[in-house]
Amino acid sequence: MDIILTISLLASNRRESLERCLDSLKPLLVKIPSELIIVFTGTDEKVLEIAQKYTPQVITFEWCDDFSAARNIGLKAAQGEWFLYLDDDEWFDDVEEICQFFLSGEYKHYHSAHYIQRNYENWNGTKYSDFSAFRMVQRYPESRFQGAIHEELVPRIEPCKYLQTCVHHYGYVKDAENRNIQKHPEIFPCFYKLLRVIQSR
């Protein structure tokens, strides 16, 4: 069966958020002819073990302070007609809209797609900003990431589908909020374990 969608994930040393991220991708992997590629950039062997439970396609990459270099490893290994990428500190609540985009055949009328990235400013989720993220694209031989930081996938080819699917992202939480949780972990019980994992990187 031809692979329609490649999902490529960068995984560092975030144990708990990695599992939540990967679990949120399961409907895509079940409903759509797809593959999951995890590029492991960390040093935590437990994270590597978790990754290998979800896919046999785990690529170890020695971190070199270049996000595009790491992303391009996953892109080079991709076999899907389309390519979706994300990080291990992001997760979806619901991917049904993305599933239907492919299952209905609508994807054949587009070359790229955006979904919403919700960037949180605090760990209890009351402050955030939404960003239309260019994270899914029809894969071309010339497709590549550029830029060591805030990497960009090029080329961007129209037409583009704008999806309402939302991915939750806690990577931008301010240091001040982190310190507040350390002092008062009982306030945010569902995020305290995640904080400890991130700070252990």
pLDDT for 19-59, tens place per residue?
A: 999 999 999 999 999 999 999 999 999 999 999 999 999 99
- Strand, coil or helix: 169: strand
Report the predicted TM-score, pTM, of the whole model to 2 decimal places: 0.85
Sign of CA dihedral 140, 146, 149, 152: negative
Rounded CA separation 192/76 (Å): 36
pLDDT of residue 35: 98
pLDDT above 50: residue 188: no
Contacts of 118 (CB under 8 A, 6+ apart): 128, 129, 130, 131, 166, 167, 168, 169
Whether the Cβ atoms of residue 2 and residue 33 lie closer than 8 Å to each other: yes
Rounded CA separation 99/26 (Å): 11
pLDDT of residue 180: 47
Rounded CA separation 112/139 (Å): 9
Domains of the chain by start residue, with CATH: 5-199 (3.90.550.10)
How far the first Cα of the chain sits from its last, in Å, is: 39
Rounded CA separation 43/170 (Å): 21
Buried b (16+ CB within 10 A) or exposed e, 172-193: ebeeebeebbeeeeeebeebbe
Rounded CA separation 200/123 (Å): 17
pLDDT for 55-91, tens place per residue?
A: 999 999 999 999 999 999 999 999 999 999 999 999 9
pLDDT above 80: residue 195: no
pLDDT of residue 123: 85
Burial of 42 (0-12, 13-18, 19+ CB in 10 A): buried
